Chains A and B, each alone.
Chain A
Amino acid sequence: MIQVSNVSKSFGQLKVLDDVSLEVQSGEVVVIIGPSGSGKSTLLRCLNCLEQVDDGLINIDGQAVRPGVNYLKSKDIYRLRQGIGMVFQRFNLFPHMTALENVIEGPITVRKTPREEAVEKGLRLLDKVGLADKANAYPGQLSGGQQQRVAIARSLAMEPKIMLFDEPTSALDPELVGEVLAVMKNLAKEGMTMMVVTHEMSFAKEVADRVLFMDEGKILEDGKPSQIFSDPRHPRTREFLKKLL
């Protein structure tokens, strides 16, 4: 489903991704952990082309991304992104649209879905994330947890094959983390292919098929959560996990 081969990416002098390779199968849930600045966000952002890779090859569901295309003006990349949902740490809902309008925006504008059909599906998705009663609320009227669930519904409305989550609960008050994780667990159960950057180790242990540990732009560890948490191979992983607990 996702194939990353020898991808490198630098910001100026700083090498943020250093010859990264990985593969994600359809239906797999992969959790990425690692210290701040290790390149986790950048890796996700490269997958849906919010960042341009310098080197290497990304193949997503048969579509190849190579360095050197114009990311802002490529129809191929617009199409590629339709199949990849992205959930951000800061939700990034459109503040001038209600929850429902946020959710139906993609289908209507990008897919040209008829409005009634989009609304019907949008309401179903809001129901799925437990927010059927908030359809007409503006983001400013919702709690962080509710906003994040709307954001997940907005991504799902495009019927993506892959969902990317970049620290989806890091901006939330502790008591609101659970409701977002619950929605994500459900998605995982339904067989969604997911890549999740998170510091929620309970989620990783419970839901992940694999855990990647990143440090200084490299994937130092890639294995089952049970193995990584109980018996990390790399000293850096051990150090990181110790600090976390």
Chain B
Amino acid sequence: MDSLSFIWSVLPVLLKGLVMTVQLAVLAIIFGTIIGLIIALMKIDHRPLLNWFGGLYTWFFRGIPLLVQLIFLYYGLPAVGIVLTPYMAAVIGLSLCGGAYIAEIIRAGIQSIEKGQMEAALSLGMSYGQAMRRGIVPQTYRRLLPPMGNEFITLLKDVALVSVITMVDLLRSAQLLNQTYFRPFELYATVAVLYLILTSIFTVVVGYLEKKLTLPE
């Protein structure tokens, strides 16, 4: 079988892996963003205990390689009676770790808003929470898009790590196919191309959103 027909014949299997990769990435992005926002707000809060917790969180999850975190979640935790499915371990690991990086991005974004904005909001009688929610955080969306887009692409690529905890993502499905067909060049080249297509789509979407969120002047 020539290369192209071989790729064509295994493409459905690879695409199934691709769907899993995208699914994990999307979940990690959603949960990671929620976690990131909460941790960012903790880090800039005026209550020291929350600052401390926020700092601890990012220190911890950014300080340990994601690969180690995933292996620990899946292979380590059962020893203390916590058994996670590979899928759960993957989602939890990616979200917790992604959240730490996203928290730093959001914190920097919020702190880049001029002090006067918070003061204007407070002057209207808003509480600190209202001022954040209505006045400050929405202003950061446009500024956050480029770094968040980068982080999302990083997360998408990091999903490949879950193949070590037996998740059948894009990379792992290629590895499994290779065990049967021994055609690593075609298989991994296809994986690479599929990743490129995914990240390119992502970049285009982020660029489009950036234009859409730019305020008229």
Known contacts A96-B215, A141-B217; is-contact A110 B120 (Cβ 8 Å): no
Return the CB mask of A67-84 against B: 1 if under 8 Å, else 0. 000101101001101111
Which stretch, A25-33, A87-95, A175-183, A196-204, touches the partner chain B? A87-95
Known contacts A94-B117, A94-B139, A96-B215; is-contact A110 B123 (Cβ 8 Å): no
Inter-chain contact B216/A94, CB cutoff 8 Å: no
User: In the complex, which residues 120-147 of chain B have their Cβ closer than 8 Å to any Cβ of chain A?
Assistant: 120-128, 130, 134-135, 138-139, 141
Known contacts A90-B116, A109-B134, A110-B130; is-contact A155 B123 (Cβ 8 Å): yes
Across the interface, which residues of B come within 8 angstroms of A151, CB to CB? 120
Known contacts A96-B138, A96-B215, A138-B215; is-contact A82 B120 (Cβ 8 Å): no
Q: Which residue from chain B places its CB closest to the CB of A79 in the assembled complex? A: B125
Known contacts A94-B135, A140-B216; is-contact A88 B119 (Cβ 8 Å): yes
Across the interface, which residues of A come within 8 angstroms of B127, CB to CB? 75, 78
A226 to B167, CA, bound (A): 83
How far in angstroms is the closest Cβ of chain A from B59?
25
Inter-chain contact A109/B126, CB cutoff 8 Å: yes
Return the CB mask of A85-108 against B: 1 if under 8 Å, else 0. 110101011111000000001100
Contact of B126 among A110, A138, A141 (CB under 8 A): A110
A84 to B123, CA, bound (A): 7
A141 to B214, CA, bound (A): 13
- CB of A50 within 8 A of chain B? yes
Known contacts A109-B134, A110-B130; is-contact A95 B215 (Cβ 8 Å): yes
Across the interface, which residues of A come within 8 angstroms of B125, CB to CB? 78-79, 81-83, 106, 110, 158
Inter-chain contact A50/B119, CB cutoff 8 Å: yes
A110 to B117, CA, bound (A): 16
Return the CB mask of B149-181 against A: 1 if under 8 Å, else 0. 000000000000000000000000000000000
A106 to B120, CA, bound (A): 10
Inter-chain contact A110/B46, CB cutoff 8 Å: no
A82 to B139, CA, bound (A): 23
Across the interface, which residues of A come within 8 angstroms of B116, CB to CB? 88, 90, 92
Q: Which residue from chain B places its CB closest to the CB of A140 in the assembled complex? A: B217
Across the interface, which residues of A come within 8 angstroms of B139, CB to CB? 94-96
A94 to B90, CA, bound (A): 40
How far in angstroms is the closest Cβ of chain A from B72?
38
Known contacts A96-B139, A109-B130; is-contact A86 B217 (Cβ 8 Å): no
- Which of A86, A90, A92, A105: most chain B CB closer than 10 A? A92
How far in angstroms is the closest Cβ of chain B from A29?
19
User: In the complex, which residues 21-37 of chain B have their Cβ closer than 8 Å to any Cβ of chain A?
Assistant: none
A70 to B127, CA, bound (A): 12
Across the interface, which residues of B come within 8 angstroms of A81, CB to CB? 122-125
How far in angstroms is the closest Cβ of chain A from B142?
8
A138 to B134, CA, bound (A): 16
A70 to B46, CA, bound (A): 10
A105 to B121, CA, bound (A): 9
Q: Which residue from chain A places its CB closest to the CB of B140 in the assembled complex? A: A96
A209 to B130, CA, bound (A): 36
- CB of A40 within 8 A of chain B? no
How far in angstroms is the closest Cβ of chain B from A76?
11
- CB of A154 within 8 A of chain B? yes
Return the CB mask of B58-74 against A: 1 if under 8 Å, else 0. 00000000000000000
A84 to B46, CA, bound (A): 24
Inter-chain contact B123/A48, CB cutoff 8 Å: yes
Q: List 6 A-B contacts (CB under 8 A).
A: A88-B116, A94-B120, A106-B125, A110-B126, A151-B120, A154-B124
Interface contacts beyond A81-B125, A92-B116, A155-B124: sample of 11 additional A-B pairs, CB < 8 Å, sorted by A: A72-B46, A73-B128, A79-B125, A81-B124, A82-B125, A93-B120, A110-B124, A110-B125, A138-B215, A138-B217, A158-B124
Taking Cβ atoms with an 8 Å cutoff, the residues of B that contact A are: 46, 114, 116-117, 119-128, 130, 134-135, 138-139, 141, 215-217
Taking Cβ atoms with an 8 Å cutoff, the residues of A that contact B are: 48, 50, 70, 72-73, 75, 78-79, 81-86, 88, 90, 92-96, 105-106, 109-110, 138, 140-141, 151, 154-155, 158
